[in-house]
Amino acid sequence: MAAMRKTKSFLMLVGRVINEAVSFIVFSVLDLVDFILCFVYKVADFFIEAEWKPCYCSSSKESITGSGKILVSEQGESKIVCLSSTKLQLDEISDTLYTRPSLLSEVSKLSMKEIKKGTVRSTFTVNSTIVEMLQGKIGGQYLHPIPRWSDCDCKFCTSWTSNCKETLFVKTDGPREYKGQEDVLFIHGFISSSAFWTETLFPNFSSAAKSSFRLFAIDLLGFGRSPKPTDSMYTLREHLEMIERSVLEPNKVKSFHIVAHSLGCIIALALAVKHPSSIKSLTLLAPPYYPIPKGEQATQYVMRRVAPRRVWPAIAFGASIACWYEHISRTICLLICKNHRFVEFLTKLITRNRIRTFLLEGFFCHTHNAAWHTLHNIICGTAGKMEKYLDAVRDNLKCDVNVFHGKDDELIPVECSYSVQLKIPRARVKVIEKKDHITVVVGRQKAFARELEEIWRNSSSG
């Protein structure tokens, strides 16, 4: 037995060494490939003209941009009124790795002395055509920029452009008439969609649950059937505001339960901190919480943990490509996401329709811009804030916190859930044997639906 253990340990050591060596070679080559693709896309983006797709809506006299407010006078003169302060700018940057590049470069000409005095108000004339492009209005109609040439422009992926109101796609289930029922918000993870919930849990909830709870499953900004604006940086603030605008405000949601998976857990925690008195329960699946060691830079540490630049396991290799190589991941979107209808057909043909198509929908129907910025601005960009969010949930919220994690999850280790429990002692952690990042729900949806119903009932009775 001792000899077998030594042999096993030796083989594991050899495997790690081989993995390290192969990873070094592979990622060195990928560094060069990504550099070359960077040049290729710069040239392609320069020469391929941007297209605009109209959405017929009523016009208004003003439009808010990332840098200020555009005002159009009756004489047609266009001015930009910049209402900004150093505090607001710092707040915008604090939760992002990438920030929106300002088209209004003239703002930078303001002296620092003027800015330090407080709120700055400046006006300057801008070409009316540029203003119309910034406002997305020509001839009294809003114009939505369709995805870049390397992204899919099929009817499914651009369905949001035909909607006058830029709100998230929301799949609702439960009682048609609101009579004081409780509400539940479902938030999916990275490169996924509302179908992750609606095709698994929604059909398995009991009739009693569907008569007692209104269920809202959203497609996050940039994914599924939700808007995919090309000028968005997909920051945490933007995701939260879209959820409020699309679900909480129109449906008059006052208090609600949250069920979130993976990246969605970060958005769920931020939403709970923003609405502490409204949360009735928090259910987190595979939360990506990595405690930051002293002396480490938070965003870089989380990037190394989420995307370790290893060729094995395969899911870590995929995460490394998505996280470290912007132009290679854009090429993958060009080859797969842009041609997702053909890829879906081919996949169904090869697997004889035995693969769950809703998982393909979530994986294919996004833009590279949305995936790249959401990954960096949510998972990595909020790394330094996660402890504050968890502390706020522990101290300011009285709701139940339940955490589920697949024991075989190779993307986000089980230790992340136990770390959440250390920050929130009342949190209950359940580790599911022989389940991974996806099968923690898919494949056990009936059991999980019953568990959620019990959580909601206990929270309501308490």
What the chain holds in terms of domains, given with CATH numbers, is 31-68 (no CATH), 170-460 (3.40.50.1820)
Main-chain dihedrals φ then ψ at residue 369, nearest 5 degrees? -60, -45
366 labelled catalytic: no
Query: Looking at 144, 405, 437, 459, which residue is catalytic?
Result: 437
- More confident site: 82 or 168: 168
> What's the mean pLDDT in 317-340?
92
60 labelled catalytic: no
410/330 Cα distance (integer angstroms): 24
DSSP 8-state code for residue 337:
I
Q: Residue 378 is which amino acid?
A: I
- More confident site: 177 or 410: 410
Q: How far is CA 453 from the centre of its chain?
A: 26
Residue 70 has pLDDT above 50, yes or no: no
pLDDT of residue 427: 97
The rounded mean pLDDT for the chain is 80
> What's the mean pLDDT in 115-122?
45
Q: Residue 44 is which amino acid?
A: A
217/232 Cα distance (integer angstroms): 22
**Count of CB atoms within 10 A of residue 59's CB?**
13
pLDDT of residue 152: 84
> What's the mean pLDDT in 80-101?
39
373 labelled catalytic: no
> What's the mean pLDDT in 407-421?
96
233/455 Cα distance (integer angstroms): 35
> What's the mean pLDDT in 61-83?
35
Query: Looking at 188, 261, 340, 373, which residue is catalytic?
Result: 188
Question: Residue with structure tokens 């016009």?
Answer: 59
Confidence of residue 81 (pLDDT cuts 50, 70, 90): very low
Minimal CA–CA distance to 187: which of 233, 235, 220?
Answer: 220
pLDDT of residue 96: 52
188 labelled catalytic: yes
Q: Name beta bridge partners: 69.
A: 64, 81
For the stretch 6-54, pLDDT in tens is 888 888 899 899 999 999 999 999 999 999 999 999 998 888 754 444 4
Minimal CA–CA distance to 62: which of 155, 134, 168, 124?
Answer: 134
Query: Looking at 262, 281, 320, 459, which residue is catalytic?
Result: 262
Query: Looking at 226, 409, 417, 419, which residue is catalytic?
Result: 409
> What's the mean pLDDT in 321-335?
93
Packing angle between helix 314-324 and helix 298-306, nearest 10 degrees?
140
> What's the mean pLDDT in 226-253?
93
For the stretch 353-412, pLDDT in tens is 666 667 777 788 888 999 999 999 999 999 999 999 999 999 999 999 999 999 999 999
Bridge-based pairing of strands 279-285 and 256-261 is parallel
- pTM equals 0.80
